[in-house]
Amino acid sequence: MHADASAVLGPFVGVLGGMGPLATVDLLAKIIEETPAGIDQDHVPVVAHNVAQIPDRQRFVAGDGPSPLPAMHAGIARLNAIGAGCIAMPCNTAHIWFDTLAAHSRAPLIHIADAVAEVLSDGLADGPAPARVGLLATQGTLRAGFYQQRLGARGIEVLHNRDDEFDAWFTPGCYAVKAGDLERGARLLGEAAARLAERGAERLLLACTEVPPALARLDPAGLPAQIDATRALARACVRWWQQQPRTTT
């Protein structure tokens, strides 16, 4: 089956999603938005494994629950089994396990922080690269340090929320979005963002995939301009596809 299907359809961008399900839908929509396409057949082929039955990443990082790693490996194995050409994860926290997942995957994984770094090094549409960005990310992402390392190497300082700010606003804001309550999520995550702006963040780096759909509900004039890590990841997926040799169907 696998050889036949791949011969007919060719490779695709695999999406290890479900962390959460709405964030995966957000990535798929942004891949379409970022693709210059006139007809269906121009679009980036994607197989999205939007299976949320993965143990909670934030809880595991906090020492409260089982590891999500076996379920993540299983999802990546499925995507590889049917011919993924690369794999993207619309979940920043999941990148804590990036190296292990990449080591067990035939298809290369695209790192979301590389995708953000590429957007910043390409230059922003509305101005130069910022000196200070405010990182809106889970405590797991923050402690893993990959954004600080990759942006720091380019001379960009990364500001972040304090532990008490996580407890009061960021973490409950994320769970509100996961539960589908975008209005409450917007209010809570907006408070977390405001603290970073007060400390001098010139841009907000939305590096938790629950954040963009929520912040989109707030008045953009009240906060620093945003860099959306999900949109950066979408662009990296489109770039990957544009670099593939074309097959005809």
Residues in CB range of 41: below 8 A, 6 or more apart: 249
Ordered DSSP codes for 86-125: EEE-S-SGGGGGHHHHHHT-SSPEEPHHHHHHHHHHH-BT
Q: Write down the least CB distance from residue 19 to a second copy, Å.
A: 7
- Taking residues 158 to 187 in sequence order and writing x for each that binds a second copy by CB under 8 A, - otherwise, the string is -----------------x--xxx-------
Q: Which is nearer to a second copy, 4 or 163 (CB)?
A: 4
Return the bridge partners of 84, or none.
Answer: 12
Single out the residue of 48, 86, 211, 229 in contact with a second copy (rule: CB under 8 A): 48
Q: Write down the least CB distance from residue 67 to a second copy, Å.
A: 11
Q: Write down the least CB distance from residue 149 to a second copy, Å.
A: 28
- Coil, strand or helix at 236: helix
CB 235 within 8 A of CB 34: yes
Which residues are part of the catalytic machinery?
Answer: 91, 208
CB 226 within 8 A of CB 197: no
- Taking residues 68 to 97 in sequence order and writing x for each that binds a second copy by CB under 8 A, - otherwise, the string is --xx-xxx-xx-xxxx--------------
Q: Write down the least CB distance from residue 41 to a second copy, Å.
A: 6
CB 97 within 8 A of CB 91: no
Q: Which is nearer to a second copy, 79 or 158 (CB)?
A: 79
Give the binding range for a second copy (CB under 8 A) out of 64-72, 156-164, 198-206, 215-223. 64-72
User: What stretch of H or E contains 228?
Assistant: strand 225-228
Phi, psi of 45 (to 5 degrees): -75, 130
Q: Write down the least CB distance from residue 79 to a second copy, Å.
A: 8
- Taking residues 7 to 46 in sequence order and writing x for each that binds a second copy by CB under 8 A, - otherwise, the string is -xxx-x-----xxxxx-xx--xx--xx---xxxxxxx-xx
CB 45 within 8 A of CB 86: no
Interaction of residue 55 with a second copy, rule CB under 8 A? yes
CB 85 within 8 A of CB 46: no
Q: Write down the least CB distance from residue 221 to a second copy, Å.
A: 25
Cα maximum dimension of the chain: 57
Q: Which is nearer to a second copy, 76 or 207 (CB)?
A: 76
Interaction of residue 148 with a second copy, rule CB under 8 A? no
Q: Which of 156, 153, 136 is nearest to 205 (CA)?
A: 136
Return the bridge partners of 227, or none.
Answer: 205
Positions in the binding site for a second copy (CB under 8 A): 1-2, 4-5, 8-10, 12, 18-22, 24-25, 28-29, 32-33, 37-43, 45-56, 66, 70-71, 73-75, 77-78, 80-83, 175, 178-180, 247, 249
